[in-house]
């Protein structure tokens, strides 16, 4: 196909007839492909016109205007925007020849001979009239000259085609939701302020991190100065619904959280710490924030723990039904443990989770098996999904959805539903091995093991390396999608933390009106948006929650945003400012990390759950 577009010959050996044939093919393609013409022809015409006129005058002894691009020509109006592969190749061939023509001024090819060769093409583009080649070169000489630069044209053509094809996606082929554990921006990203500007009233170039004078209603003067602790600290702070209310310290007069409470009074002052980065522990997170997109205002949707948070991230609600969501009745806490560690619809009789019921009551309980639509239920046919987690308990959202699990018994059964069996993987490292074997679903959730979770009191500091390994696996993959595009050029990676974990944060959340207002929204959590189409160092100052992430997924896969009718409908945005698919994809740059993918793949330790308290 490429050879044909470069050297398309008519049946006649007459040079004029050959150029007429080429002109006809070119004009046909020109009228077909509006997008490419709009992009290249004004530039192309000015380059050819300036060079050809300068050479023509020079051959006549007339110095005339020198090489320049000051002249412009109006391209004929295209009649259709239909894309055509052959025409695209022919148009890129035109650009390639112009680039070579430009380089002829550097003596890569004799300028007079080049102008004689390309003049008919110039004349056709500019005037739309057929004009045979100038008679100074015979046909054999012209073909010899064309052969001399054909290899260069092919090289340029292939490069332009690759860039053009990669930049023309209309949506992401893959979306990966990476969900870490229990941190706030002030706690986990404190160290970003050593290399980037921070402010509690940020502009578009500042991270909203408070580094001094944290509010503490138990401290003298009402403020305290934060101190550092390792990521592997031993604190397991309270982050229940009750803990939210204590830390919020709601002011009924202003209708806002005062953000000066301590959710864990049994560990006095433990909430007022930030993660130490003197050894580079969290540097991978900081580099991801600085190289891709960061949200200054991402809030967990719920005011509580991991189990309801993961329900919001999978189905846009923690309510047991659509009716309960509408009534503002939400599951608010983690479930009680079964002796065998089962959870959700597999739980033994007597297992329960608490619910928040308006107004501001957490006294009722319910068996942890729910029935309502989730994100996979609304995806178009052919969109594949996978949920990587460690457990059948709080961090496994699908296990608590009855029609996905399809348990063998009402209590104490086993999930047998094909959607569950085929799509839930209880070993998170399998995501890395799947990418290595080119097995990549359209929509993926990745939940870490305890060691790599960032959860206070139960992690070994592997979280930053774990997330970097996920990003690197996608960015470095040589696998291709069915259309030949790369994983990196077609993937969005959304990284967040499921709840605040009891740590200090200075930003008060928006509290919704009733009936949802007793449980939405929760405290701020970090959020990263990573893709080839995300501006380096982008900082977003819009207000988001987990419902915004669900809306992004819905919109990306062609589903009406908010269709579930839960947090996705209550959210006001779909993260559209974090990327621009009209831009050319940015090349991937590896994120350095202390631990590599091989460490996680070869880790034979049985995966453990993140701490649930």
In contact, 300 and 481? CB cutoff 8 Å:
no
> Comparing 86-95, 365-374, 548-557, which segment has the lowest mean pLDDT?
86-95
In contact, 424 and 389? CB cutoff 8 Å:
yes
At 248-258, the pLDDT tens digits run: 999 999 999 99
Backbone angles phi, psi at 479, to 5 degrees: -70, 155
Q: What pLDDT was estimated at residue 30?
A: 39
Query: Which residues have CB under 8 Å from 316's CB, separation 6+?
Result: 374, 375, 546, 547, 550, 564, 566, 567, 568
Token pair recorded at residue 197: 């500007």
Residue 151 — very low, low, confident or very high, per pLDDT cuts 50/70/90? low
Cα gap 27→21, rounded to integer Å: 10
Give the start-end residues of each E strand in 427-572: 443-446, 491-497, 527-531, 538-545
Residue 233 — very low, low, confident or very high, per pLDDT cuts 50/70/90? confident
At 44-61, the pLDDT tens digits run: 444 434 443 444 444 444
Rounded to an integer, the average pLDDT of 561-590 is: 97
Q: Can you give the pTM of this predicted structure?
A: 0.75
Inform me whether the pLDDT recorded for 95 exceeds 70. Answer: no
Helices (H) and strands (E) in the chain, counts: 19, 17
**pLDDT higher at 31 or 400:** 400
**Of 73, 13, 14, 81, the residue nearest 48 (C-alpha):** 73
Cα gap 253→251, rounded to integer Å: 5
Inform me whether the pLDDT recorded for 6 exceeds 50. Answer: no
The length of the chain, given as a count of residues? 613
Rounded to an integer, the average pLDDT of 569-598 is: 97
Inform me whether the pLDDT recorded for 179 exceeds 50. Answer: yes
Domains along the sequence of the chain with CATH? 2-166 (no CATH), 174-182+280-518+527-545+558-601 (3.40.720)
At 302-361, the pLDDT tens digits run: 999 999 999 999 999 999 999 999 999 999 999 886 656 689 999 999 999 999 999 889
Q: What pLDDT was estimated at residue 403?
A: 98
Backbone angles phi, psi at 145, to 5 degrees: -65, -40
Inform me whether the pLDDT recorded for 469 exceeds 70. Answer: yes
Inform me whether the pLDDT recorded for 164 exceeds 70. Answer: no
pLDDT over 70, % of the chain: 71
DSSP 370: B
Q: What is the mean pLDDT of the chain?
A: 81
Q: What pLDDT was estimated at residue 268?
A: 82
Backbone angles phi, psi at 176, to 5 degrees: -120, 125
Angle ∠(164,168,170) on CA atoms, nearest 5: 175
> Comparing 17-31, 443-457, 534-548, which segment has the lowest mean pLDDT?
17-31
In contact, 282 and 504? CB cutoff 8 Å:
no
Q: What pLDDT was estimated at residue 110?
A: 41
Angstrom distances, CA of residue 149 to CA of 6, 209, 239, 396, 398: 11, 57, 68, 60, 59
> Comparing 115-119, 382-386, 535-539, 593-597, which segment has the lowest mean pLDDT?
115-119
How does 162-176 read in b/e, with b if 16+ C-beta sit within 10 Å?
Answer: eebebeebeebbbbb
pLDDT over 90, % of the chain: 65
At 102-131, the pLDDT tens digits run: 444 343 334 444 344 443 444 444 344 444
DSSP 256: E
Inform me whether the pLDDT recorded for 43 exceeds 60. Answer: no
């Amino acid at each position: 196909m490429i050879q044909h577009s470069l050297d398309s010959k008519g049946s006649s050996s007459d040079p004029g007839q050959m150029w007429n044939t080429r002109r006809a093919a070119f004009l046909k393609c020109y009228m077909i492909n509006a997008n490419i013409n709009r992009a290249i022809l004004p530039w192309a015409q000015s380059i050819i016109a300036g060079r050809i006129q300068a050479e023509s005058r020079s051959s006549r002894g007339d110095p005339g205007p020198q090489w320049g691009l000051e002249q412009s020509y109006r391209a004929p109006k295209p009649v259709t925007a239909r894309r055509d592969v052959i025409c695209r190749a022919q148009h890129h061939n035109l650009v390639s020849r112009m680039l070579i023509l430009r380089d002829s001024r550097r003596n890569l090819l004799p300028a007079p001979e080049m102008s004689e060769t390309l003049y008919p093409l110039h004349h056709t583009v500019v005037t739309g009239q057929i004009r045979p080649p100038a008679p100074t070169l015979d046909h054999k000489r012209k073909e010899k000259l064309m052969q001399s630069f054909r290899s260069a044209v092919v090289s340029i053509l292939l490069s332009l085609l690759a860039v053009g094809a990669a930049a023309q996606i209309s949506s992401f082929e893959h979306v990966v939701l990476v969900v870490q554990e229990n941190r706030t921006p002030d706690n986990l990203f404190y160290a970003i302020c050593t290399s980037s500007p921070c402010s509690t009233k940020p502009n578009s170039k500042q991270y909203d991190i408070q580094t001094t004078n944290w509010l503490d209603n138990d401290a003298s003067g009402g403020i305290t100065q934060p101190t550092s602790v390792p990521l592997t600290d031993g604190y397991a702070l309270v982050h229940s619904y009750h803990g939210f209310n204590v830390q919020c310290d709601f002011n009924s007069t202003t209708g806002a959280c005062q953000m000066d409470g301590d959710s864990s009074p049994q560990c006095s002052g433990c909430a007022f710490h930030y993660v130490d980065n003197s050894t580079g522990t969290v540097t991978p997170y900081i580099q991801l924030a600085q190289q891709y997109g960061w949200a200054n205002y991402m809030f967990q949707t719920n005011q509580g723990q991991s189990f309801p948070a993961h329900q919001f991230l999978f189905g846009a609600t923690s309510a047991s039904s659509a009716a309960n969501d509408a009534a503002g009745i939400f599951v608010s806490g983690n479930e009680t443990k079964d002796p065998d560690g089962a959870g959700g619809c597999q739980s033994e009789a007597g297992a329960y989770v608490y619910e928040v019921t308006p107004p501001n009551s957490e006294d009722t309980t319910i068996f942890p098996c729910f029935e309502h639509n989730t994100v996979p239920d609304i995806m178009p046919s052919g969109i594949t999904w996978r949920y990587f987690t460690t457990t059948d308990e709080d961090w496994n959202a699908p296990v608590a959805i009855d029609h996905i699990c399809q348990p063998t018994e009402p209590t104490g059964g086993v999930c047998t539903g094909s959607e569950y069996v085929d799509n839930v993987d209880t070993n998170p490292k399998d995501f890395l091995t799947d990418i290595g074997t080119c097995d990549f679903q359209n929509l993926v959730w990745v939940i870490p093991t305890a060691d790599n979770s960032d959860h206070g009191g139960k992690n070994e500091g592997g979280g930053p390396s774990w997330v970097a390994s996920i990003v690197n696996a996608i960015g470095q993959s040589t696998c291709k999608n069915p259309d030949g595009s790369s994983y990196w050029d077609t993937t969005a990676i959304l990284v967040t933390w499921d709840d605040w974990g009891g740590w200090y944060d200075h930003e008060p959340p928006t509290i919704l009106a009733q009936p949802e207002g007793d449980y939405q929204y929760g405290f701020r959590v970090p959020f990263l948006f990573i893709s080839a189409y995300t501006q380096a160092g982008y900082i977003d100052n819009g207000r988001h929650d987990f419902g915004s992430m669900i809306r992004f997924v819905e919109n990306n896969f062609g589903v009406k945003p908010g269709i579930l009718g839960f947090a996705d409908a209550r959210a006001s945005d779909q993260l559209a400012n974090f990327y621009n698919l009209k831009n050319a994809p940015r090349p991937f740059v590896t994120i350095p990390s202390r631990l590599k993918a091989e460490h996680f793949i070869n880790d034979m330790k049985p995966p453990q759950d993140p701490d649930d308290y």
